[in-house]
Amino acid sequence: MFKDAFAQPPVPDTNRTNSKYHGWNVKADRLFFANGHQDPWREATISAESQNFVGTLLQPIEVSNGFHCSDLLVAERVDPTVAAVQDKALASFKVWLAGWPKYKRRELEVGVAPQTHDL
């Protein structure tokens, strides 16, 4: 997979990632969790049945009746529960972006690439 980009496939370091982001207890401002009740990956998310996390304004947790990637299927019609989660995400993003200092918004407008952070 992606042989032109990688000499060998990258190996995920889940212990390092969990250590850096505190595993189940991840806390980050402006992080939107969108999950689906029918998603087979849901049990690997904070929306797993074994977890009891409550969303906040800066770290919302929303669950639709969708399944993995059902938000990408729009040829027929969008599941209304998926659309509701998408609408909530857009509303959150709008509030978060409005809170950015003007100089940050200016950087985005002129196309200055934001800094990235390694895992």
pLDDT at 107: 63
Asked whether residue 1 is domain-assigned, the answer is: no
Asked whether residue 14 is domain-assigned, the answer is: no
* Burial of 96: CB neighbours in 10 Å, binned 0-12, 13-18, 19+: middle
Asked whether residue 17 is domain-assigned, the answer is: no
| pTM of the predicted model as reported, rounded to 2 decimal places | 0.72
Number of compact structural domains in the chain: 1
- Measure the CA–CA gap between 72 and 86, rounded to whole angstroms: 11
Domain of 102 in residue numbering reads as: 29-109
pLDDT in tens, 25-54: 999 999 999 999 999 999 999 999 999 999
